[in-house]
Amino acid sequence: MSKIKKLFGLLLAIMMLASIMTACQKEQATPASDQIQEATQPAETAAAEEAVVEEKPGIGPDMLLLPTMENMGDKFPGSWDNYGLIGRMMLFSRVLRLDAKLQPTKGDLAESWTVSDDGLHYEFIFKDGITWHDGVEFTPNDVAISILTALKCGQVNAVMKGALSKILGAAEYIADETKMPKDGIEGIKVDGNKLTIDMATASGTFLLTMGQFNIFPAHIIGEYDLETIKSMNTSSYYDWPIGTGPYKLVEFVPNDYALFEYYEDYFGYEEAPSILKVKMQQMTQSDYAVNALADNIDFFHINDLGTALAALENPNYEAFYTDIYFVRFFHWNAHAPNDPISDIRVRRAIVKAIDRQALIDSLMPNQATVTNTKVPASFDYYNPDVYDLSYDPVAAKALLDEAGYDYDAEVKLVCYYADQGSANFMDAVCNYLSQVGIKASWRLITGDITAQLWGDQVDYNMAYAGLSAMAVEEAYNIYESATLASGVQSGVLPEGFTGMDDLIHELWTCVDQTRRVEILKQMQVVESEQCLWYMPMFALRNIQVVNTARVNLPSDLVLSNEWSNYERYLDQWTLNPAE
């Protein structure tokens, strides 16, 4: 992680295209390294050290104040499609716990677990004395019913759904609409406090799923009919969700806030935590900075550097970079009429014409890193030996000439990010492309984004987009021929591609980490040499902002992907409220 020092509050607001292009073509006057210092975890910062030895004046109420941009209209947000974030970590439990690298290291609901060498047999032994927030006893059948309900549900994260679908009998169960969760399947067996799961084929993401998948009460969701299960997010369960996590819901005001209190019968802590109440307030991103200046937020994560910098105008806040799987790219529309970028050499030229590092240094210093594939360069399975897409306008022009590029054609770009930084980025990209002879223009798309990106309102050659992934499968499953033919992006991607099928199918069933890395690096070669449907720009690090005047984070905490259910040591967080 990197600690963000205070920058000039108006840094991004005054950064117009002319200054961007100047910075892109000249040496930086103020290197980002002079503005940002490295820290391995919050407890090592000076402010955190002072928090231990100095008594600080208390601020605000005696409850943890969290914001959320999720929709809390008439119901609590769904928790199988969007499975992570700190609020869900507090409310629900999972079978396993994940560390900051999203590796299963210990049980949550499970006391212990074993896996066969071939990855086809799992056995989980569950802890005793667990109860739901309504007092009903937890049993392994709650896990079984949750899995079986999710298999029929249309609102489940794709990686988790894929892993669960490999359980023995799952395919037939999904296809048979007369079968319900209470009917069970061959591969799931409950015996006392033991749950046994047999797989039809191995899954490389099954244990990850067991650490991310929120478990729901069988005595509630087990009574739902098929139509309710299919649209779970609109079910009555989310009127007042019941979990087994450390905090229970005690008040819910739609479109406003949810209030949680520590559940005294929680099984996971030896003693009650210091923080007994948590308020989760619904707000938009634009509200974050205003509330931070008033000390009304204790902890939040954001991708927008400007928002983080605005919060840091309040000296009570510190911010940290965390590496997550989040990549930005230009998505090619292969079905555009008279497509001027259909030749892969043209798409390579487009990337090479853009000085991505200069744009990063100008718009998001130290927050982003250049990548040449859909994998962040900081990940151990990133392949640096693919086609070189580094900035080289002379080589870009040569590629265009070699491909017989039509210099009279117009390349249409679209962007759905409405912040000023993205607008500056798009302006700069169009300027870079013009320097190698490509006529390019861009527009902001609003309203029904899905229809304009993948549906019946598509009108672009390249779309500036992003991907946040729990697992690498989310980034590469689209290259699998069956997914390509039927997925939501099928209307804009090439047809009939099978060049990655063997690798993807092997990845789906591979449980050996060394071999998985080898497969992923081979997949990136195919991506670079045969596809380049997604023209990579950079990987973006998340920013986590903490009010260190109110919140003391534990020394063991290593901040990670907030969209995931990683170990946050919530019982060790402490507050410094006003008297």
Instruction: Check pLDDT > 90 for residue 332.
Output: yes
**Which pLDDT does position 37 carry in this prediction?**
33
Instruction: Check pLDDT > 70 for residue 47.
Output: no
**φ, ψ dihedrals at 248, nearest 5°:** -110, 150
Q: What is the band of 490 on the pLDDT scale with cuts at 50, 70, 90?
A: confident
Instruction: Check pLDDT > 90 for residue 388.
Output: yes
Instruction: Check pLDDT > 80 for residue 579.
Output: no
Of 252, 205, 25, nearest in space to 98 by CA: 205
Instruction: Check pLDDT > 80 for residue 135.
Output: yes
Q: pLDDT tens, 335-378?
A: 999 999 999 999 999 999 999 999 999 998 889 999 999 999 99
Q: pLDDT tens, 64-122?
A: 999 999 988 889 999 999 999 999 999 999 999 999 999 999 999 999 999 999 999 99
Q: What is the band of 285 on the pLDDT scale with cuts at 50, 70, 90?
A: confident
Q: pLDDT tens, 502-512?
A: 999 999 999 99
Work out the percent of the chain whose per-residue pLDDT is above 70.
90
Instruction: Check pLDDT > 60 for residue 315.
Output: yes
The residue-averaged pLDDT of 200-220 equals 97
Instruction: Check pLDDT > 70 for residue 24.
Output: no
- Angle 174-178-181 from CA coordinates, rounded to 5°: 60
Distances 137 to 48, 93, 113, 244, 337 between C-alpha atoms, Å: 40, 14, 21, 10, 60
Q: pLDDT tens, 237-266?
A: 999 999 999 999 999 999 999 999 999 999
Q: Indicate the range of 51-65, 211-225, 337-351, 445-459 predicted with least confidence.
A: 51-65
Q: At what angle do helices 356-363 and 17-25 cross, to 10 degrees?
A: 130
Q: pLDDT tens, 425-449?
A: 999 999 999 999 999 999 999 988 8
Instruction: Check pLDDT > 60 for residue 386.
Output: yes
Question: Residue 344 contacts by C-beta under 8 Å, 6 or more apart in sequence?
Answer: 530, 531, 532
Where residue 421 falls (left for φ over 0; alpha for ψ -120 to 50; beta otherwise) is alpha
pTM: 0.86
Q: What is the band of 137 on the pLDDT scale with cuts at 50, 70, 90?
A: very high
Beta bridge partners of 320: 3, 544
Q: Is 529 helix (H, G, I), strand (E, B) or coil?
A: helix
Q: What is the mean pLDDT of the chain?
A: 90
The residue-averaged pLDDT of 138-156 equals 97
**Which pLDDT does position 54 carry in this prediction?**
55
Q: Which string of DSSP letters, residue by residue, matches 193-240?
A: TEEEEEBSS--TTHHHHHHH-----HHHHTT--HHHHHTGGGSGGGGS
Q: What is the band of 304 on the pLDDT scale with cuts at 50, 70, 90?
A: confident
Instruction: Check pLDDT > 70 for residue 41.
Output: no
Q: Is 505 helix (H, G, I), strand (E, B) or coil?
A: helix
Instruction: Check pLDDT > 70 for residue 276.
Output: yes
**Which pLDDT does position 74 carry in this prediction?**
87
Instruction: Check pLDDT > 70 for residue 36.
Output: no
Of 109, 166, 104, nearest in space to 142 by CA: 109
Instruction: Check pLDDT > 50 for residue 565.
Output: yes
Q: Indicate the range of 14-18, 211-215, 535-539 predicted with least confidence.
A: 14-18
